[in-house]
Amino acid sequence: MVQNDDSAEWNTDDDLYFEIDNFQSSPKSSSPLVTSLDHMFATLVDMGFSDDMIARAIQENGPNAETSAIIDTISKYSMNCEPSSSKSKTIDHFLAMGFDEEKIIKAIHKLGEENMEEIANALLSSEADTSPMMKEEDNMDWSDSDDEMKYSDLLSSDDEKDQDSLYSCNPLSSLVKMGFSELEASLAIERCGDSVSIADLADFICAAHIAREFDEFHIDPEEQKPRQDIKKRRKEPRPSANNQPLHLPNPMIGFGVPNEAVFITHRSLPALARAPPYFYYENVACAPTGVWETISSHLYDVLPDFVDSKFICAAARKRGYVHNLPISNRYQIQPAPKLTIQEALSHTRKWWPAWDTRTKLNCILTVHASAQTTKRIRLELEAHTGEPSEATKRYVIEQCRRWNLVWVGKNKVAPLDADEIESLLGFPKYHTRGGGISNTDRLKSLGNSFQVDTVAYHLSVLKPLFPDGISVLSLFTGIGGGEVALHHLKIPMKTVVSVEISEGNRNILRDFWDQTNQRGEFIEFEDVQDLTRDKIVELMKRFGGFDLVIGGSPCNNLAGGNRVSRSGLEGEQSSLFFEFCRILEVVRETTMEMRRS
């Protein structure tokens, strides 16, 4: 779960376009506006727009414009260009669909302007040879690239955006064609496994480049001082008994999920991890190389529980969870979440065409398709009196998968609205609605949240352990996914100390607390750095300690959607992971002292 600062403006579940607004306080070293523009620019470049068109659109709309407004403006440039020949209308038609102009002209010369369907088929075939093809139900999850981020094949989320894209050719040759050396491509495949998408493999290689550049150009990383020397406070990882690189499992079901037959019911925790309290840490699964090894080593060598929430609900969300909870006797909250799009969003069934075979959504994102995109899809479909051509079907389904579009009428698709996303993520209806929060902020907050049903499944083991209630320290609380999960499990919350930077998110959780008639004590802090050792000790003595420390630090520098500063745990926002470790260590030490006294 990630924090949301109102000043930042772009892209998370993990797991591609994430509006990752989840840092604890604004970095002092750069303007939030500049950072936001960088992120937006990088996202649009990844979508295939030219630098000139992006700059022109930003200048026309202003630096504070939403990404969707910039995309609309760029689309208008393509659709409204001056006709320069008798073929301009045909060219403009395919430019508006996102194809390369040079390829369009070649196809027209070869096939003739009047053969629109043959041109479309040729262009789609060409795209298939050079672009990632979307893989059904396993698209990068940003939630899923967490996801994320995140985290679509735009690969800009953590939850959390993450679309798994596969090249039609073999991974090694695809990576080499992308400009990577054969050696680094081979190492990436060995490190990540040959079932991982080309996009993920490329991200791992790029992350390794970033890490090397950081080592080469920063003589002493501790001279970098984001957020009052968080890195200086960071402890060196303990010597690890597990020196093997961590691979993402396929299928990503961790120690087991409710609807799969394979379960691991017992694991041997490292001795250091067995001390109280229970802890539960979450972040995007598809992080740069070495990140999860570092997270594991700082959290007492506990191996991550990697889970894609598509096995629990109707939307993908690839996340890693490091915790010392028991893993036997887990159970799912009832009623169980719906597992397919059509079950979860039953109002779409009436309009869902048989040729759209999707049953799962990609990771929930914080950036949505523009009105221009959905208009183009409607016009393409309306051009056919009966069933659309195969080329049109492929184009429409690609756009639907990329943007998580659902059918809302005849020939009409639309992005998910905030109410639908709340349902898919397991939150109560209208959890984020009203109270002064805008629709844009609702979408951002939801895109950066826990998938409640997944977290509740993991936390269900606590119910018999704490029949009289549980005391929780909730870090990077967001909109309260952990608290909602405990409420759904009917585990009384005696005390919740919540730390969340976003005022809007704090209001959402406070409203939930009041509306569900919670009887425990609820205390809020804005910043994890407000939790000094003395403050933590004071709170623990006041409430008798904490039974659970839960949270997910910002994924800004981890999510695959961030092509500007995907610098791993050294990044200014994602280095807040070490604050989670610092606070957890103080809680553990104080717990032992309280038990001895």
Cβ–Cβ under 8 Å, residues 562 and 142: no
- Calpha distance 41→529 (Å, rounded): 31
Local structure of residue 559 (DSSP, 8 states): S
Instruction: List 318's β-bridge partners, or say none.
Output: 308
104 sits in which H/E element:
helix 101-111
- Calpha distance 462→464 (Å, rounded): 6
- Torsion angles phi and psi, residue 592, rounded to 5: -65, -40
Could you tell me which of 302, 200, 280 has the C-alpha nearest to residue 248?
A: 200
Cβ–Cβ under 8 Å, residues 164 and 144: yes
Residue in the structure block whose two tokens are 């050696």: 183
Q: Is the dihedral of CA 382, 383, 387, 393 positive or negative?
A: negative
45 sits in which H/E element:
helix 32-46
84: which 2 tokens? 């320069």
Question: CA angle at residue 324 from 211 to 530, to 5 degrees?
Answer: 65
Residue tagged active-site, from 286, 313, 363, 555: 555
297: which 2 tokens? 């080593």
- Calpha distance 147→365 (Å, rounded): 8
Cβ–Cβ under 8 Å, residues 320 and 284: yes
- Calpha distance 293→244 (Å, rounded): 9
Could you tell me which of 257, 261, 357 has the C-alpha nearest to residue 310?
A: 257
CA atoms within 13 A on the CB side of 221: 17
- Calpha distance 8→511 (Å, rounded): 24
Q: How many residues does the chain have?
A: 597
Decide if 555 is catalytic.
yes
321: which 2 tokens? 């969870």
Instruction: List 493's β-bridge partners, or say none.
Output: 470
Nearby residues of 592 by Cβ (< 8 Å), 6 or more positions away: 275
Long-range contacts of residues 291-297, Cβ cutoff 8 Å, at least 24 apart: 291/558, 291/568, 291/569, 292/246, 292/320, 293/240, 293/245, 293/246, 294/237, 294/569, 295/320, 295/322, 295/569, 295/577, 296/240, 296/242, 296/246, 296/322, 297/237, 297/238, 297/240
Query: What are the catalytic residues?
Result: 555
